[in-house]
């Protein structure tokens, strides 16, 4: 199409229908300067692409012209045989730097190592606590504790070779309460039933008290000891190495 034919036809069609530029502007909402540019084919004053074609389509629709035919004349006049559609917008996020995944793997590895060593420390602490508890529960009671050796507790100047640990055997013929102190340490203070036999050890001496003297039989290192008191009454006796006597033949005598 020769230059000027499109603009002249557009203007002629508008004037034949007695439509002013002001009316066309209000009806199509196209700026009057764009309408003037179309009728004068001043392409540099028009927006390109789909906007110019949109103006032509709106004008053709309002004036009652064939839209496709008028668009074809517009393309020929402007020299745009084919208007390419704009490429779709892609909202692509920027790719992270290559060192970010490596840093994430390193952080995960350090976290796993920290969890491993923390678990080992916690287990060792727990095992040590359990071992301490078991040790405290299995510790010896005063009755089970071995008595100090006679040599360690003998007074200065005494002959440790002639002294030995004392072993006390307590037997009951009737129920009675008995209190036993060995080397100033309380070993027993309880009610013993009839037929009970207990053994205790000491380095220096025993102090034995019974509620019923006749119900208790005492043996020191296998040697029978005298009664604690009168029958039917309470009594107390102190036993030590001096209560052990050896006969010339080697037999023990009270």
215 in Cβ contact with 232 (< 8 Å) = no
Query: What backbone torsions phi and psi does residue 209 show, to the nearest 5 degrees?
Result: -130, 135
Going residue by residue through the chain (254 aa), what tens digit of pLDDT does each one get? Answer: 555 688 888 899 989 999 898 998 998 899 999 989 888 888 888 887 788 889 889 998 998 889 998 888 888 888 754 444 455 555 566 666 777 888 888 999 899 998 998 888 888 888 888 888 877 765 544 445 455 544 455 455 444 444 569 999 999 999 999 999 999 999 999 999 998 999 999 999 999 999 988 889 899 999 999 888 888 889 899 999 888 875 344 444 44
What is the rounded distance in angstroms from the CA atom of residue 19 to the CA atom of residue 28? Answer: 12
List of E strands, the chain: 166-172, 176-182, 185-192, 197-202, 205-210, 216-220, 223-224, 235-240, 245-246, 252-253
Among 230, 209, 214, 207, smallest CA distance to 174 is for 214
Domain boundaries of the chain, sorted by first residue: 5-78, 162-244
What pLDDT, in 10s, does the model give residues 137-184? 655 444 454 555 444 554 554 444 445 699 999 999 999 999 999 999
Torsion of CA 239, 241, 247, 251, to 10 degrees: 70
pLDDT of 128 reads 87
Q: How far apart are CA 111 and CA 105, in angstroms?
A: 10
Return d(Cα 88, Cα 86) in angstroms, integer: 6
Q: At what angle do helices 50-63 and 5-16 cross, to 10 degrees?
A: 30
- CA–CA–CA angle 43, 46, 52 (5° rounding): 100
Assess contact for 168 and 117: CB atoms under 8 A: no
pLDDT at 248: 46
CATH no. for 5-78: 1.10.260.40
> How far are the Cα atoms of 21, 153, 192, 210, 232 from residue 235, in angstroms, in the given order?
140, 27, 16, 6, 10
- Give the pLDDT confidence score for residue 231 in this predicted structure: 85
């Amino acid at each position: 199409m020769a230059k000027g034919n499109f603009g002249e036809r557009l203007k002629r069609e508008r004037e034949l229908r007695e439509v002013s530029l002001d009316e066309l502007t209000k009806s199509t909402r196209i700026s009057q300067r764009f309408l003037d540019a179309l009728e004068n084919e001043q392409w540099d004053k028009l927006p390109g692409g789909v906007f110019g074609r949109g103006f032509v389509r709106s004008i053709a629709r309002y004036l009652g012209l064939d839209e496709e035919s008028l668009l074809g004349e517009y393309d020929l006049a402007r020299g745009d045989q084919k208007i390419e559609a704009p490429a779709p917008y892609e909202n692509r996020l920027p790719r992270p730097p290559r060192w970010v995944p490596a840093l994430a793997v390193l952080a995960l590895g350090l976290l796993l190592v920290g969890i491993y060593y923390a678990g080992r420390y916690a287990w060792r602490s727990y095992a040590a606590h359990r071992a301490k508890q078991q040790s405290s529960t299995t510790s010896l009671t005063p009755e089970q504790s071995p008595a100090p050796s006679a040599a360690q507790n003998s007074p200065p100047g005494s002959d440790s070779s002639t002294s030995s640990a004392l072993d006390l055997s307590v037997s009951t013929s009737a129920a009675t309460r008995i209190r036993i102190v060995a080397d100033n340490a309380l070993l027993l203070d309880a009610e013993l039933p009839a037929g009970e036999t207990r053994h205790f050890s000491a380095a220096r001496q025993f102090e034995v008290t019974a509620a019923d003297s006749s119900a208790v039989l005492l043996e020191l290192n296998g040697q029978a000891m005298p009664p604690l008191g009168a029958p039917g009454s309470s009594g107390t006796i102190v036993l030590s190495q001096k209560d052990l006597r050896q006969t010339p033949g080697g037999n023990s005598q009270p």
